Amino acid sequence: MNGLLPALKKAGLTTLANYNHCRVKMHHSYTFEEVAVLFGVHKNTVAGWVKKGLPCLKQRKPYLILGKELRLFLQDLRQSKKQKCKADELYCMGCKKPQKPMGLMVDYLPINDVKGRLIGLCECCERPMNRFANAGQLDDMKRHFDVSIE
Ligand SMILES: [Zn+2]
């Protein structure tokens, strides 16, 4: 508990809601330690994020996390902390809350082999809405939505 941490705590940067993904450089790769320092968290917290689905490159040590993946993950984390979507809802940026997509129709856009986005149109304001999803959850999604896979 020295160095950066007290200053970060004072600034309120150690609470989850304040992980600012904008601090992450898109085209930079980070070690767990670097991510930990960036957000004033313990290295184990970063390892926990990887367990929760943050992709990392494990070909050699130290493991590296791509900036763009870290950004997406933190945005996702922040969003899911804020307001949890129900199984048949997506987050609407227009309404700023989870809503049902029109006709329960969504498109699945893969980001990589395991992760993707669900895109739909809000039945309330007709604006685009989205939610991150794992490819492994697709069968489950299909029970709630009419899913088209792009
Ligand atoms: Zn809406």
The per-residue pLDDT for range 45-104, each reduced to its tens digit, is: 999 999 988 999 988 899 999 999 999 888 887 766 666 788 899 989 888 888 999 999
Q: How many other CB atoms sit within 10 Å of the CB of residue 52?
A: 10
Q: Using 50, 70 and 90 to split pLDDT, how confident is the model at 121?
A: very high
Q: Between β-strands 90-92 and 128-134, what pairing exists: parallel, antiparallel or unpaired?
A: antiparallel
From the CA of 113, how far away is ligand 1's center (Å)? 29
From the CA of 9, how far away is ligand 1's center (Å)? 35
Residue 124 has pLDDT above 90, yes or no: yes
Tokens of 43: 């290295």
From the CA of 124, how far away is ligand 1's center (Å)? 5
From the CA of 83, how far away is ligand 1's center (Å)? 14
Q: Which residues of 7-42 are buried (b: 16+ CB within 10 A; e: fewer)?
A: ebeeeebbeeeebebeebeeeebbbbebbbbbbbbe
Q: Which helix (H) or strand (E) holds 31?
A: strand 29-31
4 compared with 123, residue with greater pLDDT: 123
